[in-house]
Structure 1
Amino acid sequence: MRNQRLKHTLLFMGIVCMMFFCKFYDAYADTYTDGRIIVKHEELPVKKNGRHIQFDHPYEVAGNVITNALSYIYFEEKGLLKKKGTLRVFQDDEIRKLVPLIVQALSVATPTQVVTVSSYSERILLTDQQNYCAIFISDRNLNIAFSRIHMFQSYNDAMSEKKRYTTAKENPSRISHSRFWKLVPSAGQRLEPSHENWLVIDLSNEMYQQPVAQRVGTVDEKIKMGTSELDARLKKLEERMVAADETKVNKPITSVRENGSESKIKSKLVILREMMEDEIISEEDYDYKKVKMLREAMGDMSIKEQLQVIKDLKIEGLITEDDYNEKKKELLDQF
């Protein structure tokens, strides 16, 4: 009897130890993922003033501080075809996924480990743009060194399992500049000397300690949030389209495509384009929503029907020649 109780006790203790070990292992994982976003611990040597440094890790930091820090990272493009003005490095959909992963990774990193981030955010048709950076705490400042900002990835590359879960081990702190972009410091930020790709952020700055402001980032959020002006303009545009439809001569239905999914896509793209022209949404918002529609709204069509739809959209100017060629290539590859 006593032996049986001892066995039960030992079994119970073993189960508890296994549960603790599993929980411990999860909390101290080396890699954290959310979709195509990957946050990892990496043993990367970093030099400051010619000397290798150790990091102030592990480091506990609040989510709102990291959210504000990522939200105020800007860059400028270089070259003849550069976009004007400063651009945000991270989009709101990226930040929402990144923050909990970065907070967790910093809280368990060792003094020799940086936190590397590989993230994607859909911006234009069938192409995603990748950011890659190393994050670490030194002298109680948040350091973020980039090796890639908005680097174009083809749709097939971005979605392949190898590209999705495997990133080349690189050290952004060893890079001093890029031919295509440079970081633009905001309040409480400075560039590491002799670097255009490395920001040093003073987390004690009041701007980063503030609660996260309610942001309306993507076009989906803007439509969902709504304003009286936006709702009024949408209603006006929809009424205009309905009126235009009523003036057309009734035609027999020749296919599901003509009166079904295609008409819905056209209607939404027309509304979105007019919203962009009225400066209710940005061109980036329009491109983002256009991507989602062409990827998701035509899923119930045959490849032939999809080819006809994108041809019609190109003729009507709702998508560009590049959009059409990229989508056509993707569809033809599915044969």
Structure 2
Amino acid sequence: MNQRKGRITAQIANKIWIYLSILVLLLIELGKLCYKQLQFDSLMRIFGPESSLKGSRGFTLVRHQPGSHFHILSFSDLINFLYKLGKIVIYIPGFISTYLSSLTGFLYQPVSKKANSLRTHTAVLIVSLIVLSCTITAWFTDRAVPPAAVSEEIQQLFMLDQAGLHIEDLHLFEEKVRIVSGALDIAPEWLMAVMHSESRFNPAAVNHRGSGATGLIQFMVPTVRELNDRMGTEYYMNDIRLMAAHDQMQLVYEYLQQVRERYGEFRSLTDLYLAILYPRAINKEQTYVLYAQPSRMYRMNSGLDENKDGQVTVSDIEKRMQRLYPDAFKARKPSEYF
């Protein structure tokens, strides 16, 4: 009777632990899936545009305030740590439970059968210990390097070397570019490409074709007025020319966010360039005409007419971006990775 009760108790305990283990793992996986649905713009709305997002697949939020610099544990690090810890918490007692269950069954067996089951019991124990040791070793090895570094290293920002011709503090400029890109849910390569196209990364660049535009993305006078109303500032064109590149990135963000609110998400490098050149053409068909002969605007932008047919269309802009910036053209926006 005692033997039978012992076997039943061991079997019930083992099954309960297995079911609990499966439930916990499923909850952890569900949490990871929910986490992957978070996008850069959602995080930026929570923590504000002064926050920076670092890391590759994970987010490290850095809050910038006067006289302070707070580093907040990345969501990726936290989720990965809990996932690994959960597996260890499950595996160690799981193996112990399995072993004890097997041992209990072995002890309660009749003497005549113990000799035959001893080899099986020993083999199960050895395999269990090997798997357990591998699991613990892998977990501690993973902990030696942050998860973001394990997944992939952050590559140098696209065209950053060319930006160095006009920008002194490249580190701060790169950080600002990544912040703005994350907030707008665009690839940083796109932003670098359009700034190179518009100003060659010269924050004091001035358009000499008559438009009077200036800055990294060639701000126009009406645009600056709108930004002043939006931000509660009193910038003049000369103020923008005198700004450092990393400071000017705040204006870049405000302008592109305003366009995004009016015309929708930027789906490609072409859309981002159109946001600066001709926002109304965003999400339009390829044949949509921006400028045509014999207008003055066409003469000012005739270099964009890729097929030289007397019209600048969305198709021309897309072909130009693909020709000049093939790597940036192929880049994907952050939300497409989740």
Shared fold (TM-score greater than 0.5)?
no
Larger strand proportion of the pair: 1
TM-score normalised according to structure 2 size: 0.24
Q: TM-score, normalised by structure 1?
A: 0.24
Which structure shows the bigger proportion of residues in helix conformation? 2
